[in-house]
Amino acid sequence: MTQDSRYAVLFEPVKIGPVTAPNRFYQVPHASGMTNALPRVRAAFRETKAEGGWGVICTGACSIDPSSDDAPLPFASMWDEHDVRAHALMTEAVHRHGALAGVELWHGGASVMNRASRLPPLSPSGIPWMATHVGFMGNLRPKTMDRSDFRAVLKWQADAARRARSAGFDIVYVYAGMGYLGYEFLLPEYNHRVDAYGGPIENRVRFVREMIEATRDAVGKDCAVALRISLEELRARPGRNQESEAHEVISLLADLPDLFDVKMDSSPTDCSASRFTGEGSHEPVIDFVKRLTNKPVVGVGRFTSPDTMVSQIRRGILDLIGGARPSIADPFLPRKIKEGRVDEIRECIGCNICISSWHDGVPVRCTQNPTAGEEWRRGWHPEHIERAAREERILVVGGGPAGLECALTLGRRGHHVTLVEAGGAFGGRLAFETRLPGLSTWGRVLDYRLGRLNIMSNVEMFLGSPVGVDEILELAPDRVVVATGAAWTRMLYAPMEIPVGHLDHPRVFTPDDLAQGRLPEGPTLIFDFDNYYMGGVLTEHLAGQGVAVSYATPAGHASAWTIMTNELPLVHRALAQRRVCVTTLHVLTAFDGDTAVLKHVFTGEERRLACRSIVIVGLRSPRGELVAALEERAGEVAAAGIRSIERAGDALAPGAIVHAIHSGHRVARELDLGETGAPYRRDFPIVEPVISRS
């Protein structure tokens, strides 16, 4: 296929100081959960993106000194020569494909707790950054930087920059965003200094200026120097001479860095979930930067549409199209645009499961791309897959996320696949969930897979086809994959999370009932101990339908786990906007049709809530009937020549969609590998010292 000329502008080279990006696709620094302890996993993850056409590939936060220590959250380091080789693995991998490599050197200032290094965090004025924010809490307040601290930080940055150059990086960052040290100097709330670093904006910008100069001096003309800067807070602040302080900061620094990488201030707005925010959401905050500097500007916005990207360039908003999540969901996005295969793009759905991986301290996971993070460990490539040694006839039962991914991957391996779905539409749980408030973008999980499956001649798909053992015996495939999903139960939990039986009443519902179109009658209580999105989103859904709805949970927040996906603050805001009464720290113990009894998880105190219906959003249980029935008739199954029966997705272990997709993919890759199974390679740190070229 040929490139669409409308998109040619995206493939123009862009000069960034002394280096040149081969095109405008720029993978900005992003958390990947891959520390220097996983150098091969990391290099392969990033190499795949370079292979897929991203012109610049950056690291995530790379600490310049043990005084910037985010442990147990994952981060990279450039503390000494021992770190150089681990990074060089990545730069070599990226360079193999003609891309540039960037390193996001980083000092966390007052936003890190130095839990491992036990050094006092550094700050302009001793004020912590979000120190009481769930997930970031620490008990160590930062010290106020004195003269020797300034000298030290500038030296760490310069030394790290030199090491970065030795490691082969082409672009070296100064980070002044997201609450980290440089940014703290820019904001008067955190910077109360009365010396040359505090007060008017010209002074507050001084530290960032010195960091840029120190970096430039260290790398000379070998590397470009990028400034990553948050602008949300600054833009909201009127300037003395210009429209806002953001305008003033950019003007003051306009000629210093070779590149501006512009972003928002906090993870929930910078990396906002599609449930609450659309594509290109940064534009109103960062749209002015290019007017104030001649240096190239990169920014993000969960861009997956080439038309949106071209529009950003043509309208003079950005020079380089930044991508973090779109590059995880589809490392081959640029190549697909270049080769006129736009309909093959696996578009990011904005679920932020990738971010949750960082919060969990593990390598990145992605709902759309099951191969993310598995490139080296399991040898999975997002685009290429080995054909099966022997073509088999495989029946996949269930057309939800797991079944679709499994059928697609089996088809790509050259098997003859029959996919049967009992319902009238493909998508399983997604068929309902994508109709809930804010979740329509998740339909891309379905669209991508159906789009690919529909053009595969070796895959047949049938709707309205519930299959049981008899049908399976009649079809007599070589193998069966059961991806029949899971059902929500009416089970309740006691405060210590001990199951305490089911709550049975004609007006006790589960999300499955709502999916089938049943609308609870009268004032309704959503009782949620699933803690992910479903409880909150159903509450919004019912409120939107005019049902009087309240929400209760044993957790401390509504949809408590969504802290991991950056959604929690916005969930609370959405429920408040709907005037939903939220009760936390309570379990549901009884319901008589008119009153629900809620018990405080710590005090045991009871309170009564008048309601006519209850929706329990709690445990899910695999739909295991088919597998049980097949096992019961094992003799007939064997006689029919069926070699194996595998379960995939929720039918195996109920979980989020990301797990179902990964499971479906894994089963398809591994079901014919026999007893030895697939390798799961274990990465390890590289500790050999390397002599720096500097």
Tell me if 354 contacts ligand SF4 by CB under 6 A: yes
Tell me if 33 contacts ligand ADP by CB under 6 A: no
Structure tokens at 577: 């906007």
Amino acid at site 356: S
Whichever of 123 and 352 has its CB closer to ligand SF4, that residue is: 352
Contact pick of 28, 187, 329, 461 for ligand SF4 (by CB under 6 A):
329
Exposed/middle/buried for 378, CB within 10 Å: 0-12, 13-18, 19+? middle
Give the C-alpha distances (Å, rounded to integers) separating 362 from 65, 133, 202.
22, 21, 40
Contact (Cβ atoms closer than 8 angstroms) between residue 174 and residue 107: no
Whichever of 436 and 588 has its CB closer to ligand SF4, that residue is: 436
Binding pattern for the stretch 382-421 against ligand SF4, x by CB under 6 A and - elsewhere: ----------------------------------------
Contact pick of 626, 667, 668, 671 for ligand ADP (by CB under 6 A):
626
Helices (H) and strands (E) in the chain, counts: 25, 30
Shortest distance in whole angstroms from residue 36 CB to ligand SF4:
23
- DSSP letters spanning 517-542: T----SSEEEEE-S-SHHHHHHHHHH
Measure the CA angle with vertex 587, ends 584 and 592; round to 5°: 120
- Output the CA torsion sign for 444, 446, 447, 452: positive
Q: What is the helix (H) or strand (E) element at residue 609, kind and residue range?
A: strand 606-610
Contact (Cβ atoms closer than 8 angstroms) between residue 582 and residue 572: yes
Tell me if 49 contacts ligand SF4 by CB under 6 A: no
Contact pick of 397, 453, 492, 534 for ligand ADP (by CB under 6 A):
397
Q: Which residues are catalytic?
A: 180
Choose the one of ligand SF4, ligand ADP, none that binds residue 558, judging by a C-beta under 5 to 8 angstroms depending on kind.
Answer: none
Whichever of 30 and 235 has its CB closer to ligand SF4, that residue is: 30
Shortest distance in whole angstroms from residue 668 CB to ligand ADP:
13
Tell me if 352 contacts ligand SF4 by CB under 6 A: yes
Sole window of 7-15, 102-110, 399-407, 575-583 interacting with ligand ADP (rule: CB under 6 A): 399-407
Shortest distance in whole angstroms from residue 548 CB to ligand SF4:
33
Choose the one of ligand SF4, ligand ADP, none that binds residue 366, judging by a C-beta under 5 to 8 angstroms depending on kind.
Answer: ligand SF4
Contact (Cβ atoms closer than 8 angstroms) between residue 273 and residue 218: no
Rounded distance, CA 85 to CA 56, Å?
20
Give the C-alpha distances (Å, rounded to integers) separating 427 from 274, 420, 422, 447, 657.
19, 12, 11, 9, 11
Sole window of 219-227, 239-247, 342-350, 587-595 interacting with ligand SF4 (rule: CB under 6 A): 342-350
Shortest distance in whole angstroms from residue 481 CB to ligand ADP:
11
Tell me if 181 contacts ligand SF4 by CB under 6 A: no
Contact pick of 420, 445, 461, 667 for ligand ADP (by CB under 6 A):
420
Sole window of 185-193, 344-352, 446-454, 490-498 interacting with ligand SF4 (rule: CB under 6 A): 344-352
Tell me if 423 contacts ligand ADP by CB under 6 A: yes
User: How many residues touch ligand ADP (CB under 6 A)?
Assistant: 25
Tell me if 350 contacts ligand SF4 by CB under 6 A: yes
User: How many residues touch ligand SF4 (CB under 6 A)?
Assistant: 13
Tell me if 657 contacts ligand SF4 by CB under 6 A: no
- DSSP letters spanning 311-369: HHHHTTS-SEEEESHHHHH-TTHHHHHHTT-GGG--------HHHHHHHHTSS---SS-
Contact (Cβ atoms closer than 8 angstroms) between residue 422 and residue 378: no
Tell me if 368 contacts ligand SF4 by CB under 6 A: yes
Bridge-based pairing state of the strands 19-21 and 297-299: unpaired
Measure the CA angle with vertex 356, ends 301 and 274; round to 5°: 35
What single DSSP character describes residue 649? G
Rounded distance, CA 433 to CA 425, Å?
13
Contact pick of 248, 265, 287, 421 for ligand ADP (by CB under 6 A):
421
Tell me if 399 contacts ligand ADP by CB under 6 A: yes
SS3 581: strand
Contact pick of 334, 350, 485, 511 for ligand ADP (by CB under 6 A):
485
Choose the one of ligand ADP, ligand SF4, none that binds residue 659, judging by a C-beta under 5 to 8 angstroms depending on kind.
Answer: none
Binding pattern for the stretch 442-471 against ligand ADP, x by CB under 6 A and - elsewhere: ------------------------xx----
Q: Which stretches of the chain bind ligand ADP, using CB under 6 A?
A: 397-403, 420-423, 428-429, 466-467, 483-486, 623, 626, 649-651, 660
